[in-house]
Amino acid sequence: MNYIYDLHNAMMAQNLIIVYQGEFTQETTKSILAMAERNLDSSGEESGIKRKVFNVMVESLQNIVKHSSEANAAAGNLTSQSAIFMIGKQADRYSIMTGNPIKKSVTADLKRKLDELNQLDKEGLKEMYKEIIKNTQISEKGGAGLGFVDMARKSGEKLEFDFPEMNAEYNFFCLKVNVPREA
């Protein structure tokens, strides 16, 4: 039973205000967003900051839903409970953190894209966003690669990420997006 107290202490130490681990569907996404919106509203946060945090949350959750369903189908539902979503609130920023299984075969390409994205400044991100909208078809998954670009633009900071190994076929894609609390 000590794990409950240990988990509570870990959450307090990391300033986590919302944590959800489990199956990610459109319905759970709606519930998480509603809970986060109530939390942001009750905190009296400035509307511009709330908008940015909410936007990053939507993109992050959509990413998990899209890739978890793909991984579940490929792995025979092995990964349906493996994704996690967290929000931390510090004095100077909100941190939106996600983790979900991804196939090792796509890890190198994703890392390369995220590294390239992190090399861009504000103007470079804006140009990349316009370029993707102008030249890319919407994929079967519903996106055109805009999600990470949009998160980087909204946060104004570099995306933090890692890919710890889960097993022979999957890595665990960890993503942290910080949104400053000053406009």
End-to-end CA distance of the chain: 42
* pLDDT value for 70: 57
Average pLDDT rounded to a whole number, residues 131-160 = 79
**Percent of the chain surpassing pLDDT 90:** 63
The chain-wide mean pLDDT, for the chain, equals 87
pLDDT at 183 > cutoff 70 = no
pLDDT at 167 > cutoff 80 = yes
Average pLDDT rounded to a whole number, residues 15-34 = 90
- Identify which has the larger pLDDT, 143 or 62: 62
pLDDT at 41 > cutoff 70 = yes
**pLDDT tens by residue, 129-143:** 888 888 765 555 555
pLDDT at 168 > cutoff 70 = yes
Average pLDDT rounded to a whole number, residues 36-51 = 90
pLDDT at 22 > cutoff 90 = no
* Long-range CB pairs of 78-85, under 8 A, 24+ apart, other chains included: 79/170, 80/23, 81/21, 81/22, 81/23, 82/166, 82/172, 83/21, 83/22, 83/23, 83/24, 84/19, 84/20, 84/21, 85/18, 85/19, 85/20, 85/21, 85/24, 85/32, 85/60, 85/61
Domain that holds residue 151: 2-180
**pLDDT tens by residue, 65-109:** 877 655 555 555 554 457 999 999 999 999 999 999 989 999 999
* pLDDT value for 161: 97
Domain count, the chain: 1
* pLDDT value for 82: 78
pLDDT at 178 > cutoff 90 = yes
Task: Kindly report the pTM of this predicted structure.
Answer: 0.87
Q: What is the CATH number of the domain that holds 114?
A: 3.30.565.10
Burial tier of 4 (Cβ tally within 10 Å: 0-12, 13-18, 19+)? exposed
